[in-house]
Chain A
Amino acid sequence: MPATRRFVRDTGLVFGRTAKEAIGNAGLAFIAPTLLAVFLIVLFQGVYGRIADTAGWPTDQFIDWVAPGGVLLSVFVGAGYTAGGLLRDADSGYLDRIRLLPTNPATVLAGKVAFEATRAVVPATGVLLIALALGADNRNGLAGALGVVAIAVALSVAWNGIFYLSALATRNHAAVLGLQPLFMPVIMFSTFWVPTTFMPGWYESVATWNPFTPTLDAARSLMLGHPAWGDLGIGLSLLAALAVVTYGLASRHYAAATSAD
């Protein structure tokens, strides 16, 4: 069997194993990120929703503004799931046993990341549907909705790179869990809750230069009407850069951990 075909087949096997495990643990893998994101959106809607009734607010309702961010939030609050699984595989000796088989150890990493990308679809779609039920605007129909979910998938691959890198560099479950709150400053200091016109000058500068803002603005533009292709290009490029750096470094740690000698 050619090496590429074998790699794809083995990656698929790891994907299937990871998926089976996640379905058995659906509460943590799928339901918790969905509910947590919805919970935060609803809580802020209850407290600050009426800010949308003030002069200069760009959408009809608060939920119109925050729903696209809420979809991406489901990725942040659920991050690190498969990276934690990889650590368990390292602890249990599974990775060591892989070294005895005629397979490329990188298939384990590839299969898990592929599943992480797929997993993101479930909470992202769930949050999107709940937001629409709560009255959020979606002016580009199915295409816009699919676009936002696709951005969530891209964000999931890139953001989880940080968790894989931490898992493989430290081999410490607490270090991986400890990265969870990292998303808070990322969303707080972006256009997640309010547009830049509602921010004081210093905050606007931070939000404008926050690397997450273009991705968020692109997702929002897909739901609110005119797609911001420029933001989409910049956002996806930044996500690609994050993925290259984190997975590049993570792969070196991984190769060292799974090398034949």
Chain B
Amino acid sequence: MSPSLRAGSGRPGAALSLVFRRQAAAAGRDPGPFFVLPAMPALLMTVVFTALFERISDAPGYEGGDYDAFLIPGVVVLVALLGAGATSTNVAADLRSGYFDRLRLLPPQPVTQLTGRLLFEAARLLPGTTAVLALGFLLGGQNHNGLPGLATVVALVSLLGVAYSGVFHAVAIRTEDPQTPFQLQPLGLPLAFLSTALVPLPVMPTWAETLARYNPVTPVVDASREALLGDLWSHELLAALAVLAGAIAVTQALAWWALHSHLARS
């Protein structure tokens, strides 16, 4: 029995680690979509929006304080939304190539393939999150809670990335299309814009405010903002963790269901 097979049958952790490393190696060969792309829109927005829309803080109803300080903890969350789901390309490619079918002959559960990749989704967002925060602090961002505040923001972005990637995996499994991340890309824009990431709710027209209020991204952004500008342990953080846990459960259920029905058919 080969060492990898033994590892997979013995300890689920070892199987996960193998999937993670295989995915990381694939990402290392093509770093653009995995590491650079998630950071680019947020970096561009950080530069452009702090410069162009600073005067929104003079608009009637705005009560977010200094706009640069307000924007940075919001725009960093967009790293998880714009450039999301890159690993779904590999999921689709593995389904097409018959890799998943071969896995069925081996002991690890096929869902290990999804979970290992989700862990990688959380990890691959770290460089982008760090870059956006670094640029944001240069351009007027503030952090009142030191390293724990930063760590909280980084964790929130990664968890949102995990939650959102489940959607990409579910679609990639159904379509077997490696282009899934590109096709679902526009979905990130309304999720990002129609939240409190860029402006506070009272500044939005009613239709946008209503959508933003029910957008699951809003509690995550609010918690991120609270972690840098308010109290580290806030109600916002609890709400965000609850929403993220729910979102991860739902999107993972979708992806697992898609995988099970796909494998049952083949």
Chain B residues with CB under 8 A of A94 = none
**A193 on the B face (CB < 8 A):** yes
Is A48 within 8 A of B199, CB to CB?
Answer: yes
**B56 on the A face (CB < 8 A):** yes
Interface mask (A176-215 → B, CB under 8 Å = 1, otherwise 0): 0000000011001100011000111001000000000000
Closest Cβ–Cβ distance, residue B190 to chain A (whole Å): 7
**A51 on the B face (CB < 8 A):** yes
Query: A50's contact among B44, B48, B56, B190, by CB below 8 Å, is which?
Result: B56
**B29 on the A face (CB < 8 A):** no
Is A46 within 8 A of B208, CB to CB?
Answer: yes
Kindly specify which of B57-65, B110-118, B157-165 makes contact with the partner chain. Answer: B57-65
Query: Taking CB as reference atom, which chain B residue is nearest A184?
Result: B44
Is A198 within 8 A of B52, CB to CB?
Answer: yes
Is A48 within 8 A of B53, CB to CB?
Answer: yes
Number of interface residues of A (CB under 8 A): 25
Is B52 within 8 A of A50, CB to CB?
Answer: no
**B51 on the A face (CB < 8 A):** yes
Query: A47's contact among B55, B186, B208, by CB below 8 Å, is which?
Result: B208
Whether A200 contacts B51 in the complex (CB less than 8 A), given A43-B190, A48-B56, A54-B59, comes out as yes
Is B59 within 8 A of A43, CB to CB?
Answer: no
Interface hits, B210-266 → A, CB 8 Å: none
Whether A203 contacts B51 in the complex (CB less than 8 A), given A46-B204, A53-B59, A188-B44, comes out as yes
**A101 on the B face (CB < 8 A):** no
Chain A residues with CB under 8 A of B56 = 48, 50-51, 54
Chain B residues with CB under 8 A of A200 = 51
Is B59 within 8 A of A50, CB to CB?
Answer: yes
Is B48 within 8 A of A188, CB to CB?
Answer: yes
Query: Taking CB as reference atom, which chain B residue is nearest A181?
Result: B40
Bound CA span A198–B48, Å: 12
Bound CA span A198–B186, Å: 28
**A3 on the B face (CB < 8 A):** no
Bound CA span A111–B56, Å: 47
Query: A49's contact among B48, B189, B205, by CB below 8 Å, is which?
Result: B205
Bound CA span A48–B205, Å: 10
Query: B53's contact among A39, A45, A194, by CB below 8 Å, is which?
Result: A194
Query: Taking CB as reference atom, which chain B residue is nearest A57?
Result: B55
Closest Cβ–Cβ distance, residue B139 to chain A (whole Å): 11
**B125 on the A face (CB < 8 A):** no
Closest Cβ–Cβ distance, residue A125 to chain B (whole Å): 23
Chain A residues with CB under 8 A of B194 = 43, 46-47
Query: A43's contact among B60, B61, B62, B193, by CB below 8 Å, is which?
Result: B193
Interface mask (A154-189 → B, CB under 8 Å = 1, otherwise 0): 000000000000000000000000000000110011
Is A54 within 8 A of B58, CB to CB?
Answer: yes
Bound CA span A54–B59, Å: 5
Closest Cβ–Cβ distance, residue B188 to chain A (whole Å): 12
**B81 on the A face (CB < 8 A):** no
Is B193 within 8 A of A47, CB to CB?
Answer: yes
Chain A residues with CB under 8 A of B59 = 50-51, 53-54
**B132 on the A face (CB < 8 A):** no
Bound CA span A185–B43, Å: 12
Bound CA span A96–B199, Å: 55
Closest Cβ–Cβ distance, residue A61 to chain B (whole Å): 11
Chain A residues with CB under 8 A of B207 = 46
Bound CA span A198–B61, Å: 19
Interface hits, B149-193 → A, CB 8 Å: 186, 189-190, 193
Query: Taking CB as reference atom, which chain A residue is nearest B198?
Result: A47
**A55 on the B face (CB < 8 A):** yes
Q: Counting chain B CB atoms within 10 Å of each CB, which of A39, A45, A48, A200 scores highest?
A: A48
Closest Cβ–Cβ distance, residue B87 to chain A (whole Å): 20
Chain A residues with CB under 8 A of B62 = 50
Interface hits, A115-139 → B, CB 8 Å: none
A-B contact pairs, 13 of them (CB 8 A): A39-B186, A40-B189, A45-B205, A47-B194, A47-B199, A48-B199, A50-B62, A51-B53, A51-B59, A54-B59, A193-B53, A199-B51, A200-B51
